[in-house]
Every structure is written in structure tokens, then in C-alpha cells.
């Protein structure tokens, strides 16, 4: 079995795939029933709303940068990364800081919570912006 970081990176990449994002029946099993997203617009979305919105959204090309995983428990993990979104017309880019809480339910990883925050420019994220570690304090 692949390391947790590889498993979750592949799942995050799938969720950014324009074809999957526009297909609710493929996307739904990847989101927990109690899924919540805090959008970069400031709005809150549940699973049903996300499935509806993504099925109607013009697809952008999204790329993951600076990916990190912290195991919170045997069946829970925090993912953080920066996303680069290239518009469908390829005329502009937007960057956002994203995080996801993944839980393992009946052997399958599902996203439970996902906030995103737009950032103004393309520059590396300081390590202190994602200070999480798997090491206990003082170790």
C-alpha cells in the first residue's frame, strides 16, 4: 500500500480533475456525508451544494503545489497545499491556500472539511504558514 501522503495527494488530484468535478456520481463517494466547505468567497457549502455547483462550473486547470500531510489519528489526516488555477480561457491565474481534513470510513478515505483562501500573488509559502508536524512538541 502506498504511503498516506501519496494516497491523499492522488485523491486531491482526482478532486481537481475537471471531468470528475463535473460528474456528481463519481465525486460523491469521495466526500463524507457531513462534508463542509468554506469557499474562498466566504460562503459555506454542504456536500449536496458542492456536487451541484461543481457540475455546472466551467472547468479550470488546477495544480497542487507545496503539498503536506499530517496524520491526526489512524483514520484522520490534515492536508495543506497551495493551488494554482488557470482559467478555462487561459487568460489568467489565481492562487489559493487550501486544506482538507480526510477521514477513513469503511476502508475508504473521504474528505470531510475543506476551506480555501485566495492569495494575492504567486510566491512560495513560508514553512511557518503550515507549521504542522507529525512530531510531538519537544521531540
Choose among 114, 64, 122: nearest CA to 93.
Answer: 122
Asked whether residue 139 is domain-assigned, the answer is no
For the question of whether the overall pTM of this predicted structure is more than 0.85, the answer is: no
Structural domains of the chain, count: 1
pLDDT digits (tens, 9 = 90+) for 82-102: 998 887 666 778 888 999 999
Q: Looking at the domain assignment, is residue 18 inside a domain?
A: yes
63-80 burial string, b = 16+ CB within 10 Å, else e?
eeeebbbbeeeeeebbbb
Tell whether 11 is covered by a domain.
yes
Q: Is 41 within the bounds of a domain?
A: yes
pLDDT at 114: 97
Q: Which domain holds residue 71?
A: 4-119
Structure confidence by residue, pLDDT tens digits, 108-120: 999 999 999 988 7
Look at residue 125 and tell me if it is in a domain.
Answer: no
For residue 40, tell me if it sits in a domain. Answer: yes
Amino acid at each position: 500500500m502506498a504511503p498516506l501522503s501519496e494516497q491523499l495527494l492522488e485523491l486531491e488530484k482526482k478532486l481537481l480533475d475537471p471531468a470528475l468535478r463535473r460528474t456528481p456520481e463519481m465525486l460523491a463517494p469521495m466526500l463524507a456525508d457531513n462534508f463542509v466547505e468554506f469557499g474562498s468567497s466566504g460562503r459555506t457549502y454542504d456536500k449536496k451544494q458542492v456536487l451541484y455547483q461543481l457540475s455546472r462550473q466551467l472547468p479550470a486547470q488546477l495544480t497542487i503545489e507545496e503539498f503536506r500531510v499530517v496524520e491526526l489519528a489512524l483514520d484522520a489526516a490534515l492536508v495543506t497545499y497551495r493551488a494554482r488555477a488557470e482559467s478555462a480561457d487561459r487568460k489568467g491565474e489565481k492562487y489559493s491556500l487550501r486544506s482538507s481534513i480526510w477521514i477513513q470510513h469503511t476502508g475508504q478515505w473521504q474528505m470531510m472539511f475543506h476551506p480555501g483562501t485566495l492569495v494575492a500573488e504567486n510566491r512560495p509559502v513560508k514553512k511557518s504558514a503550515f507549521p504542522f508536524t507529525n512530531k510531538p512538541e519537544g521531540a
